[in-house]
Structure 1
Amino acid sequence: MPQRVAITGASGLVGGALSAFLSARGDEVLHVVRREPRTASEIGWDPRHRRLDPADLSGVTAVVNLAGANVGGKRWTPAYKQEIFASRVDSTHTIASALADLGEPVRLVNASAIGIYGSDRGEEVLTEDSEPGQGFLADVVRAWESATKPAADAGLPVAMARTGLVMSPEGGAFERLLTLGRLGLLGPLGSGRQYWSWVTLRDVVRGYAHLIDREDVTGPVNLVGPAPAHQADVARAVATRLHRPSVVPAPGFALKAVLGEFADDVLGSARVMPSALTASGFTFEHDTLEQAAAWLVDQAGLAA
């Protein structure tokens, strides 16, 4: 049955792709926007001041909350760290509280991140049952997920999609990797031995659609591919598809000089598995690193 899905953060990378995917399969998609609504398919809100009329969500079957400042968009000054934190917690609390007050059986799929496991867990295999880690992003994600509590306490089915490193030619870490790859400068970052829990944008979108449909899946869900890999192997797979070398290393001190505190998360290791997602019957279109790298390069229009 077609669904009526409201999406916050619809102008972002994942939100735009998800909106197109849901519309193509026949769902009605509403965008929750910070400005005055211009069409019947838009809903206005003010997450900074936690304002959203619950009545505006009446009749929707699901809400996907993707709102939040870009973690890798700027250096982590104290002010920007506060923006990262507040943009996620305020938006989530606003949505969860509005749904709780609405009193209708609406599914909530809230964005989250594998950053909850901390900046460096080494070789440890991480599932939804693993303990949270330490660090700024772990603190952010704990508060972010906790902000869904009003909806969960109201008995609504809530899932938190802990997304990994999204492979897309537009935005995020992989846009930068493709740029380095085209120049023949793609190689290990730091030691290159840290695990990267990658997932293609295509499978992120399919994963969100799966969670919209499967309201029996609640709690944290790792939205990552089934084969996390060492960063050097990720770089090699992308470089191979670009027919470029992958031997130029980027030393850790150089990354810290460029990225600041965020470099600790880039250089850290998170070997995360999609246990809850696969247990619910989800299958990946890109379940190997080679498939994912080929898709990424093809989407960028760089395939030979």
Structure 2
Amino acid sequence: MSKPQLFITGGTGFIGRALVAALKGRFAITALTRNPDKARALLGEDISLCANVPDLTGMDAVINLAGEPIADKRWSQHQKRRLESSRWQLTEELVNAMAKAPPRVFISGSAIGYYGPQSPDTIVTESYSAITDDFAHRLCAGWEQRALKAQEFTRVCLLRTGVVLGKGGGALHKMLPPFKLGLGGRIGSGEQMMSWISHTDMVAAILFLLDREDLSGAFNCTAPNPVSNSELTQALGRALGRPTLLPMPPLAAKLLLGEGATLLLDGQKVIPKRLLEAGFVFQHPELDGALAAQLRA
């Protein structure tokens, strides 16, 4: 009996690689990629590749994780347009292709930036409505609006993803070199909330939503115990046995990232209410355990 088919974008990314590895035993996977040699090396020879969104007839599931990295460059007007088009245009292409041959589920990326900056004492769940309108919100809102058009013909789940902590990519990959040298420290006041999720739990949450046919809509993909930036800094220092005495002043963050410094200086206290209510069990609900597990990996 042939395997069901799955189409994925962003398959060579930090989350996508692990997701493909977890699913290739269950699905015949086709991945969208601009670099087939890199994709073959990362994903294996048993994955089909394509350079453009194909005819999706026969696809059982579509997972959309692609997007220009949001924190790699200053948010110039040109970079903002790149961030938007890398998410919005591809999502529109996928929805148009799926409309002709609907899969049973469409899982599409988003981020907790959807909520905009919030005060440290504000608890944010999926139903939170007092959203701060900044670029990150508009970027995620436009992404979600385009994905939700697929609700007309299939089940849609949106992944409002927090800071993904894992070895080999994401935020932790960037933080480890200075922290290992004892050069880490809080960013700005350190009071801003950091809603995080372990790489392991992020992948598990996508698998959970893929299989739960009764679930749809937006899901906060964050651990149930968010922490402040100071607490994250101290926990990483403990995990590495290094001091964390060199804070980054707000001005330095703004010089580095411009408007994008809001990603470092602001935050949200996000709770995964819908995942918890659906029965999802986090392997790493607490930060110290998550860091220990990821640094061992």
Same fold (TM over 0.5): yes
Counterpart for residue 124 of structure 1: 122
Once the 2 structures are TM-superposed, how far is the Cα of residue 122 of structure 1 from its aligned partner? 2.9
**TM (normalized to structure 2)?**
0.91
Report 1:26-45 matches (<5 A).
Answer: 26-34=26-34, 41-45=47-51
Q: Which moved more, 1:67-76 or 1:115-124?
A: 115-124
Q: Secondary structure at the match of 2:157?
A: strand
Q: Secondary structure at the match of 1:190?
A: coil
Cα distance change, pair 223–57 in 1 and its aligned pair in 2 (3 A)? same
The count of aligned residue pairs is 289
Runs of 4+ in 1 over 6 A off after TM superposition: 35-40
Q: Secondary structure at the match of 1:161?
A: strand
Report 1:161-200 matches (<5 A).
Answer: 161-200=159-198
Cα distance change, pair 3–203 in 1 and its aligned pair in 2 (3 A)? farther
Q: Is the 8 A contact 1:72 1:172 kept in 2?
A: no
Give the whole-Å Cα distance in 2 for the aligned partners of 1:23 and 1:124.
Answer: 40
Cα distance change, pair 119–265 in 1 and its aligned pair in 2 (3 A)? farther
Query: 1:36-94: CA deviations, max 9, x gaps?
Result: 89988435354xxxxx34xx322222111011100012111111110001110111111
Q: Which moved more, 1:118-127 or 1:65-74?
A: 118-127
Once the 2 structures are TM-superposed, how far is the Cα of residue 149 of structure 1 from its aligned partner? 3.3
Q: Which moved more, 1:84-93 or 1:1-10?
A: 1-10
Once the 2 structures are TM-superposed, how far is the Cα of residue 215 of structure 1 from its aligned partner? 2.6
Report 1:142-153 matches (<5 A).
Answer: 142-153=141-152
Give the whole-Å Cα distance in 1 for the aligned partners of 2:119 and 2:143.
Answer: 21
Amino acid at match of 2:269: R
Once the 2 structures are TM-superposed, how far is the Cα of residue 119 of structure 1 from its aligned partner? 2.6
Counterpart for residue 140 of structure 1: 139
Q: Secondary structure at the match of 1:240?
A: helix
Q: Secondary structure at the match of 1:73?
A: coil
Counterpart for residue 235 of structure 1: 233
Give the whole-Å Cα distance in 1 for the aligned partners of 2:83 and 2:288.
Answer: 33
**TM (normalized to structure 1)?**
0.89
Give the whole-Å Cα distance in 2 for the aligned partners of 1:215 and 1:277.
Answer: 14
Amino acid at match of 2:132: G
CA RMSD of aligned residues (A): 2.1
Give the whole-Å Cα distance in 1 for the aligned partners of 2:168 and 2:60.
Answer: 30
Counterpart for residue 15 of structure 1: 16
Q: Secondary structure at the match of 1:144?
A: helix
Once the 2 structures are TM-superposed, how far is the Cα of residue 5 of structure 1 from its aligned partner? 2.0
Q: Is the 8 A contact 1:97 1:150 kept in 2?
A: no
Amino acid at match of 1:30: T
Amino acid at match of 1:210: F
Give the whole-Å Cα distance in 2 for the aligned partners of 1:76 and 1:45.
Answer: 27
Q: Is the 8 A contact 2:9 2:31 kept in 1?
A: yes
Amino acid at match of 2:48: E
Q: Secondary structure at the match of 2:159?
A: strand
Cα distance change, pair 171–76 in 1 and its aligned pair in 2 (3 A)? farther
Query: 1:263-288: CA deviations, max 9, x gaps?
Result: 11211020000011111111111111
Counterpart for residue 302 of structure 1: none
Counterpart for residue 252 of structure 1: 250
Q: Is the 8 A contact 1:238 1:294 kept in 2?
A: no
Identity %: 33
Q: Is the 8 A contact 1:169 1:178 kept in 2?
A: no
Runs of 5+ consecutive residues of structure 2 not aligned to the other structure: none
Counterpart for residue 85 of structure 2: 86
Report 1:41-120 matches (<5 A).
Answer: 41-46=47-52, 52-53=53-54, 56-102=55-101, 104-120=102-118
